[in-house]
Amino acid sequence: MSTTEGKPPSPDAATVEEMARVATAWCGMHGLVVGDRADPRSGTVPGVGLVHAPISLLPSRLSESFWEQACDLAPVFNELVDRVSLDGEFLQDSLSKTRQVDDFTSRLLDIHRKMMDTNKDENIRLGLHRSDYMLDSETNSLLQIELNTISVSFPGLCSLVTELHRTLINQYGNLLCLDAKKVPGNEASRQFAQALARACDEFNVDSAVVMMIVQPEERNMYDQYWLVKYLKESYPFMICFDTFLNYEGYEFLFLKFLISKRCSDSFCLLALLQFSVQDLLCSLKTLSEVEAEGQVLPDGTLVVDGKKVAVVYFRAGYTPNDYPSEAEWSARLLMEQSSAVKCPSISYHLVGSKKIQQELAKPNVLERFLENKEEISKLRQCFAGLWSLDEEEIVKSAIENPDLFVLKPQREGGGNNIYGLDVRDALIRLKKEGGDALSAYILMQRIFPKASLANLVRGGVCHEALTVSELGIYGAYLRNKDKVIINDKCGYLMRTKVSSSDEGGVAAGFAVLDSLYLTDK
Amino acid sequence: MSTTEGKPPSPDAATVEEMARVATAWCGMHGLVVGDRADPRSGTVPGVGLVHAPISLLPSRLSESFWEQACDLAPVFNELVDRVSLDGEFLQDSLSKTRQVDDFTSRLLDIHRKMMDTNKDENIRLGLHRSDYMLDSETNSLLQIELNTISVSFPGLCSLVTELHRTLINQYGNLLCLDAKKVPGNEASRQFAQALARACDEFNVDSAVVMMIVQPEERNMYDQYWLVKYLKESYPFMICFDTFLNYEGYEFLFLKFLISKRCSDSFCLLALLQFSVQDLLCSLKTLSEVEAEGQVLPDGTLVVDGKKVAVVYFRAGYTPNDYPSEAEWSARLLMEQSSAVKCPSISYHLVGSKKIQQELAKPNVLERFLENKEEISKLRQCFAGLWSLDEEEIVKSAIENPDLFVLKPQREGGGNNIYGLDVRDALIRLKKEGGDALSAYILMQRIFPKASLANLVRGGVCHEALTVSELGIYGAYLRNKDKVIINDKCGYLMRTKVSSSDEGGVAAGFAVLDSLYLTDK
């Protein structure tokens, strides 16, 4: 019954089986679900072909000191992204070789250059990031895997996993010697929604909405819907609107509130009453829909499908697959040219590229962007070794000891990293091709996380496996000119995968969603 | 924006489409789901093959006076069931002809007779009923379709439909001139759970659980899981248990509370600490598992899988299909012979048969069971015409005007009623067969509900249809000897179906779940 810090007792097979049934039933009842690949409609039609999200049955252990370290880093990385994003030449220079070998980066840089050429300033800058870490058992240190600045996924579902694990521990904790207090709270989706709502307020244009850019087919749609739900709850005038609906005779109060908060003239009030509430909050569009329905007014206002857009929130556009034709690129440019707040802007997007991560890890580069020595030292402490392939000594060493390195291509989305002996083969091939080919990749120190046994549940089936975990800390940053309005950590994503699998994506089918169980420092 | 009592404006097709997407997404996020028939595992494995429950997009209208009438009837029917259940000879006599033609009723009567022969008293009697009504447009009156006393379904999901409809009205109400206040609250699952928990308290045996009897395959499992969830919340000591887990140093308080509330000796405390909390609350068993794992101790205690059972709650056992072998009948008898509270007892089960409904509708029969003339009059007002097939005049009239009658077999579960010209054919055939054959059916006045347009959503597809609705009012009744502890209405189930479909089952695929929108009296 009491809390122990050692390994918990292993529950017997029947109990594990029962817990897995309780857990997957809980998922179905509480929206911890995804679209099932087996159902062709599950990515386009809400409410059909649902299956519980792949989950770990119990949270994974991490020392509280590493947890605190990762949380402390979030606001520093938020600030760093903002600083780097303002140095357009640094981004262009650092990525100049990458553009030779990667069309996607090249197109992003083209848009970025256009913005630089027109001296376009982004006064309101919103970042919803996630910095991913693994605990390296060789050095017993927390090392950054990557910093994601666009379309970070699972803020909705990860909060639910935390709730699920606390529920299971409350039910079975006495059997397992676990204590639900040790699972840290996770409000990622609510905090992201609040940041989006706050950015709308800063944008301060009557009845302008948040537009979420989505893929035409999205099996992770419920993760996004949770954000939409909390976005609705974040709008202060919504409470008043509900009040109006629930109690008669409050019309005057309602209108007055709108005038003070968001509306400046009677025309707008009329518009508010005509729109559905849903319209007021959030519209979901694909890039090709934006191309077909969008325009930028002479004053810079982005209008899509007749609605003014305050914030463009990208949950698509991070991979070349999202741009099958020129239409999608044209939409991306249109949005970038508008006055709408982009989350992320093209600059923020580029800061998240692996090449920039590697540049920032070079000596004396962080010092160009940050003043606080303590913060710089904190950042550097979590940097793994990162090198470009023009560093011949390192390439030589990687060919000799390929197991100590990971070869990473310059694009987003898992599944493309190269491990083990393939590193050697690839490096030899790339050296032979020479020149630009080398710029398509960076080398990274391979991290060796400690493996531990966990029960993974996928498709209603529970199995025990040797696993490793990756911790992502969400961060939100909002500033308007000189004023930093939000700079916070926003909950966490724990992903656990079979240790024999090298890739980390939950959506890609390799990992499961997990939460944290904090142990003593 | 204001509430109007006339027909609401029809939203355009695009809005309906958007609302349907919002609705089905809401279902997926809030557990308003069922197992998809297309997935063979969805009835046995929680969390896989989920699909939103079939729903009406908006609530169906009903005059507030009919709503109040139906609610008022609930406690009267609860009391009536209890009174009739005590008259064993009345049940045996009324069903004596039915048993000749229906094996299922015959088996139930056998068990019932055994209990009568041993003079077995049920001191604690728990009923969770649902009385179903339709509004007859010919007479403009609310008429009872049937009274269900076993395994009434959808208390979990119907509460969610109410919540969904209120959410949609809050979002789109201004477009539709609807007001969420007019959708009556629905706490069916919470109230049922409280009644089950209260029955456990009355049973008052240390660490005895609620055992839910389920079918081996159940696509409506989430409806049942909602009840399990609320059952947990209904246990007062659970709150204390959570407190204990959340705040250190409360051990003493916790133990003391248990002693006063449920535990009488230290052995029991030990048992509580060893069991998981889940075990303490509710176990789900099939009839064949009860046969394999159950026994009745000499003192009458039912023990299944090592756990003492306080309340047997049937969510199976209402159809002959649930008794494929003698094992299931043996389990049913075992439970009936035990001292556990049966919900329902064999007597309560029999009171819900259609033959008893028809017997109660005969002149001067209600007066045998109830004293209050006003209550008797209220009941009679909602009785449709009901006749046995030995009333020759009525049979003749039904052959002449088959459209005015429904021919109902004596068993539970939709899909077997006979309508229209088939009534004539069946009656002619049954008359020819003569004797016992006629006892297998009763004739009922056909009700002609007014049809209205509604948008039905099933499998992610929304379509408009001419529909009719059936209103079920849940009721809970608990007494211990002379003390009536609960006699309440417990929320409602609204089912809406395409008016061309004669059968009413949601699970059978004909109807959708709906809620009520009250209009002026």
Residue A206: the pLDDT is 83
Q: Which band of pLDDT confidence, cut at 50, 70 and 90, is reported for residue A242?
A: very low
Contacts of B45 in chain A (CB under 8 A): 21, 24, 460
Contacts of A22 in chain B (CB under 8 A): 46, 278
| Mean pLDDT, rounded, of chain A | 87
The whole-angstrom distance between B275's CA and the closest CA on chain A is 8
pLDDT tens digits for range B87-128: 999 999 999 988 888 899 999 999 999 999 999 889 999 999
Active centre residues of A (catalytic): 130, 146, 148, 153, 354, 408, 412-413, 495
Residue type for position B204: N
B15 and chain A: CB distance < 8 Å anywhere? Answer: yes
Query: Are B45 and A18 a contacting pair at CB < 8 A?
Result: no
Interface test with A, best of B160, B222, B245, B246 (most A CBs within 10 A): B245
Q: Are residues A362 and A467 in the same domain?
A: yes
Task: Tell me what the mean pLDDT of segment A289-309 comes to.
Answer: 96
Residue B506: the pLDDT is 59
Q: Are residues A243 and A266 in the same domain?
A: yes
CB neighbours of residue A65 within 10 Å: 13
Q: Are residues B75 and B217 in the same domain?
A: yes
Q: Is residue B1 part of a domain?
A: no
Q: Is residue B5 part of a domain?
A: no
The whole-angstrom distance between B392's CA and the closest CA on chain A is 51
pLDDT over 80 at B235, yes or no: no
Residue A171: the pLDDT is 87
- Tally the C-alpha atoms within 13 A of residue A307's C-alpha that lie toward its C-beta: 24
Contacts of B179 in chain A (CB under 8 A): 245
Q: Are residues B313 and B437 in the same domain?
A: no
pLDDT over 90 at A335, yes or no: yes
Q: Which of B64-73, B195-204, B411-420, B445-454 has the lowest mean pLDDT?
A: B411-420
Task: Tell me what the mean pLDDT of segment A347-354 comes to.
Answer: 96
Residue B176: the pLDDT is 84
Task: Tell me what the mean pLDDT of segment B306-318 comes to.
Answer: 95
The whole-angstrom distance between B124's CA and the closest CA on chain A is 29
The whole-angstrom distance between A520's CA and the closest CA on chain B is 17
If you write DSSP's letter for every residue of B333-389 in order, what string do you get? HHHHHSSSEEET-HHHHHHTSHHHHHHHTSTTTHHHH---HHHHHHHHHTPPPEEET
Q: Which of B445, B471, B488 is the last residue of a domain?
A: B445
Residue A244: the pLDDT is 34
pLDDT tens digits for range A440-457: 889 999 999 999 999 999
Q: Are residues A400 and A508 in the same domain?
A: no
Contacts of A221 in chain B (CB under 8 A): 25
pLDDT over 90 at B402, yes or no: yes
Query: Are B180 and A245 a contacting pair at CB < 8 A?
Result: yes
Contacts of B226 in chain A (CB under 8 A): 29
Under 8 Å between Cβ of A283 and A304: yes
Q: Are residues B427 and B292 in the same domain?
A: no
Residue A409: the pLDDT is 85
Give the B window 120-149 contacts with A, CB below 8 Å. none
Residue A506: the pLDDT is 59
Contacts of A246 in chain B (CB under 8 A): 180-181
Element (H, E) at B320: none
Query: Are A15 and B276 a contacting pair at CB < 8 A?
Result: yes
A221 and chain B: CB distance < 8 Å anywhere? Answer: yes
Whole-angstrom Cα distance, residue A241 to residue A243? Answer: 5
- Taking Cα atoms as reference points, which of B146, B121, B90, B82 lies closest to residue B503? B146
Residue type for position A137: S
Task: Tell me what the mean pLDDT of segment A6-33 comes to.
Answer: 89
Query: Are B460 and A221 a contacting pair at CB < 8 A?
Result: no
Count interface pairs A-B at CB distance under 8 A.
138
Task: Tell me what the mean pLDDT of segment B262-269 comes to.
Answer: 33
Q: Are residues A288 and A398 in the same domain?
A: no
Q: Are residues A258 and A398 in the same domain?
A: no
Residue B436: the pLDDT is 78
Residue B254: the pLDDT is 34
pLDDT over 90 at A438, yes or no: no
Residue type for position B412: E
Q: Which of A6-10, A71-75, B345-349 has the lowest mean pLDDT?
A: A6-10
Give the B window 445-464 contacts with A, CB below 8 Å. 459-460
Query: Are B45 and A36 a contacting pair at CB < 8 A?
Result: no
Domain of A393: which CATH number?
3.30.1490.50
Whole-angstrom Cα distance, residue A10 to residue A16? Answer: 9
Give the A window 57-76 contacts with B, CB below 8 Å. none
Under 8 Å between Cβ of B228 and B281: yes
Contacts of B54 in chain A (CB under 8 A): none
pLDDT tens digits for range A21-33: 999 999 999 999 9
Whole-angstrom Cα distance, residue A506 to residue A518? Answer: 22
Interface test with A, best of B45, B160, B270, B279 (most A CBs within 10 A): B45
Residue A251: the pLDDT is 33
| Mean pLDDT, rounded, of chain B | 87
Query: Are B47 and A36 a contacting pair at CB < 8 A?
Result: no
Residue A411: the pLDDT is 63
- Taking Cα atoms as reference points, which of B499, B383, B485, B477 lies closest to residue B152? B477
The rounded percent of chain B whose pLDDT value lies above 90 is: 74
Give the B window 149-208 contacts with A, CB below 8 Å. 170-175, 179-181
Residue B502: the pLDDT is 59
Instruction: Tell me whether residue B517 is exposed, middle or buried, using C-beta atoms within 10 angstroms of its C-beta: 0 to 12, 13 to 18, 19 or more.
Output: buried
Residue B137: the pLDDT is 93
Whole-angstrom Cα distance, residue A180 to residue B2? Answer: 47
Q: Are residues B40 and B145 in the same domain?
A: yes
Interface test with B, best of A4, A17, A29 (most B CBs within 10 A): A29
Q: Is residue A6 part of a domain?
A: no
Q: Which band of pLDDT confidence, cut at 50, 70 and 90, is reported for residue B412?
A: low
Q: Is residue A325 part of a domain?
A: yes
Q: Which of A401, A427, A445 is the last residue of a domain?
A: A445
Cα A445 to Cα A90, A301, A451: the distances in Å are 24, 45, 18
Whole-angstrom Cα distance, residue A235 to residue A198? Answer: 8
Q: Which band of pLDDT confidence, cut at 50, 70 and 90, is reported for residue A2?
A: very low
Q: Is residue A377 part of a domain?
A: no
Query: Are A174 and B51 a contacting pair at CB < 8 A?
Result: no
ipTM higher than threshold 0.90: no
Closest residue of B to A226, CA-based? B29
Interface test with B, best of A174, A239, A242, A289 (most B CBs within 10 A): A174
pLDDT over 90 at A195, yes or no: yes
Q: Which band of pLDDT confidence, cut at 50, 70 and 90, is reported for residue A11?
A: confident
Give the B window 252-291 contacts with A, CB below 8 Å. 273, 276-278
CB neighbours of residue A455 within 10 Å: 21
Q: Is residue A248 part of a domain?
A: yes
Contacts of A306 in chain B (CB under 8 A): none
Residue A359: the pLDDT is 96
Q: Are residues B205 and B260 in the same domain?
A: yes
Q: Which of A255-259, A281-285, B80-84, B399-403 has the lowest mean pLDDT?
A: A255-259
> Which residue among the candidates B153, B220, B388, B469 is catalytic per the annotation?
B153
Q: Which of B429, B445, B461 is the last residue of a domain?
A: B445
Q: Is residue A467 part of a domain?
A: yes
- The shortest CB-CB distance from B174 to any of A15, A22, A273 is to A273
Task: Tell me what the mean pLDDT of segment B473-501 comes to.
Answer: 94
Q: Is residue B2 part of a domain?
A: no
Q: Which of A492-506, B270-284, B397-411 has the lowest mean pLDDT?
A: B270-284
- Taking Cα atoms as reference points, which of A401, A404, A222 lies closest to residue B27? A222
Q: Which band of pLDDT confidence, cut at 50, 70 and 90, is reported for residue B173?
A: confident
Task: Tell me what the mean pLDDT of segment B462-466 comes to.
Answer: 93
- Taking Cα atoms as reference points, which of A418, A411, A448, A505 lies closest to residue A134? A448
Whole-angstrom Cα distance, residue A122 to residue B271? Answer: 64
Q: Are residues A171 and A185 in the same domain?
A: yes
A48 and chain B: CB distance < 8 Å anywhere? Answer: yes
Contacts of B50 in chain A (CB under 8 A): 28, 33, 50-52
Instruction: Name the domain count of chain A.
Output: 2
Under 8 Å between Cβ of A290 and A323: no
Q: How many helices (H) and strands (E) in chain A? A: 20, 20
Closest residue of A to B32, CA-based? A29
Whole-angstrom Cα distance, residue A221 to residue A205? Answer: 28
Closest residue of B to A177, CA-based? B245
pLDDT tens digits for range B4-45: 345 566 788 999 999 999 999 999 999 999 999 999 999 999
Whole-angstrom Cα distance, residue A125 to residue B79? Answer: 66
Contacts of B15 in chain A (CB under 8 A): 276
Q: Are residues A457 and A512 in the same domain?
A: yes
pLDDT over 70 at A273, yes or no: no
Domain that includes residue B415, residue range: 385-445
